[in-house]
Structure 1
Amino acid sequence: MSSTHDNLHGGRSSPACLAVNGKTDTVYRTLNTSKPNCVHTAVGDTNASWEVDLGRNYTVTNITIYRRERFQRRMSGIHVEVDSQTCYTFPLVNVDYRTLNSLPEKIDVTCTPPLTGRVVRLQKRGQPLNFDYGAELINICEVQVWGCRDGLYGADCGEQCGQCAGSDTCSAVSGHCPNRCQPGWKGDNCKQGKT
C-alpha cells in the first residue's frame, strides 16, 4: 500500500494485508480498535495504490472488491490491474457521478479477456486534492481474486484441459499445453486421442 491514513484522534489504518483476510464487513475500523477492518490510504496521496502478490502466476477471470460503506466516490478512477494489464477502470467522479453513486458495497469486476499475472493492483493516477473530497483515496475492505482452477480454461472456466505432457496444466485462457501432449494425444489442446 502506498500510504497509510492517520487521523487526528489517534486512529490509524490497518496494514494492506487486512484487505485479504477473508472478512467482507464494509465498516471501517482503525487499527487501535478491537476489530480493525478495511484499509485507507493517506489524505494527499494522489497516486494511491494497494496490491497483493498471489505468489505465482494465475489466470485471473474476476476480482471482487468490497468497498467501504457510504464512500463509493473513493472508487473514482481506480485502475484494477493484473501485472500492469488493465482489467477495469472505475469512472471518474466528475465524469460519471451517477455510476459511482450507484456502486454496491460488493463490486464484481470481470477481466475480459482473462489476464495472467502474479500481482493484482488497485492504482489511482494523479487525482488532485481539490478534485472531489476524498477522491484521491483508496478505501477498501476486502479484495478477492478469482481464476480458473488447474485443469480448466476459458472465459468462464468451463472447458477441461486436454492431456498435457508430464504434470503440466494447460493455459487457463487458451487451453494450450505449454510444452507438448502426452503420448497418444494430439491437437491444439491435446484433446485428440488415438482411435
Structure 2
Amino acid sequence: MAGVRILVVLVCVGRIQLASGFCASGKFGDSCSYSCHCPIPCNETTGACSGDCDTGWRKAGGLCQKQNIALNKGASTTSGVYLDWYAAKAVDGNSDMNGGSSTCFHAAGSPSDWTVDLGQDLQLYDIRIYSRNGYYWRNANSNIYLNNDTSSICSTLPSPPCTPNPTDVTCICTGRYVTIRNSGTGGRDGYASALNICEVEIYACSPGIYGLKCNTFCHCLNSTCDRLTGLCPGDCRPGFAGRTM
C-alpha cells in the first residue's frame, strides 16, 4: 500500500552449539563469541562467574555483562569546581562516599551541572549515583537529561528522606552526553545546593546481551539487539530463526 512502511524486527532464537573444552580462557557461549569479564574463567556454556567481576563490570543474574560505560570518560561542568573537587573524579572508578576532594566532584556555584561524554550514542537504562555521605541533599531533585536537551528530562533524583545512597535511577533513552543538573533550590539551612557527587555509573549490556539484568542472549547478524526487548534490527545469525513482530 502506498505511503505505508512496514517495520520488521526479529527475536532470534535457536540452540547454542558448543563443544565443551574448545573455548579459550575467558570466552563462552555460542561459537565462544562472548567474554566473561571476571578474573576467574566463567562457565563455558552459561557464562556464569563464580567470583567478582572485572573492574567496570557489575554482576547480575550470575553474569558479568553489565558494563559501566561512564568509567574514565571525559567529564565537565559549567559551574566551576570547589577547590580541587574536579568533574573527572565522579567517573574515576572510586565510589568512596567519604573520600572528599580525593574522589568526589563538588560544584563551585548554584545552579550547578555535571556532564559525562560517553563517546558515542548508546542505549541506556540504569544509572547509579553515589552522593557524598551526609550531603545527599545537594543532589536531591536534580534532573538527568541527554545530549544537552534540557527540555527532555530522562530521570530525576528522589527527594529526602527516602534516599538510599548510592541511588539507582532508570533512564530509558539513547544518547552520548549525560547531564545531571541541580537548579539550586531546596538547599539546607538557607544555603543553595551545589552538586556534590562521588561517582556516577552508567550501565549498558555487552553486545549480544539484553534484558534488565543483562543476562539474556540475542543472536543478531552484524548488529546488536535492543537492550530491553532483545529485538534485532535485521537478520539473525546463521543457525538461528526469527519471528516477525
1:118 CA displacement: 1.7
Q: Which residue matches 1:51?
A: 115
With structure 2 as the length reference, what TM-score do the two structures score?
Answer: 0.58
Q: Aligned residue pairs: how many?
A: 166
Within a 5 Å distance, the mapping from 1:25-44 to structure 2 comes to: 25-27=96-98, 29-30=100-101, 36-43=102-109
Deviations 1:93-143 (A, max 9, x none): xxxxxx5134233112233xx322222211124x35988644431111011
Q: Which residue matches 2:79?
A: 3
Gap runs ≥5 in structure 2: 1-76
Q: Aligned partners of 1:131, 1:26: CA distance in 2, in Å?
A: 19
CA contact (8 A) 1:64 1:109 kept: yes
Q: Aligned partners of 1:130, 1:179: CA distance in 2, in Å?
A: 50
Letter in 1 for 2:105: V
Distance 1:75 1:135, change over 3 A: farther
CA contact (8 A) 1:63 1:108 kept: yes
1:89 CA displacement: 0.9
Quick one: percent identity of the two aligned structures? Answer: 33
Letter in 2 for 1:180: D
Counterpart of 1:106 (choices 154, 163, 166) is 166
Distance 1:52 1:148, change over 3 A: same
Letter in 2 for 1:116: T
CA contact (8 A) 1:60 1:148 kept: no
Deviations 1:59-95 (A, max 9, x none): 222111110111121122201234445342124xxxx
1:185 CA displacement: 4.9
Within a 5 Å distance, the mapping from 1:1-195 to structure 2 comes to: 1-6=77-82, 12-27=83-98, 29-30=100-101, 36-43=102-109, 45-46=110-111, 48-83=112-147, 84=149, 86-91=153-158, 99-111=159-171, 114-125=172-183, 127-128=184-185, 133-162=190-219, 164-165=220-221, 167-182=222-237, 185-188=240-243
Cα root mean square deviation, aligned: 2.8
Gap runs ≥5 in structure 1: 7-11, 31-35, 92-98, 191-195
1:189 CA displacement: 7.3
CA contact (8 A) 2:138 2:195 kept: yes
1:5 CA displacement: 3.6
With structure 1 as the length reference, what TM-score do the two structures score?
Answer: 0.70
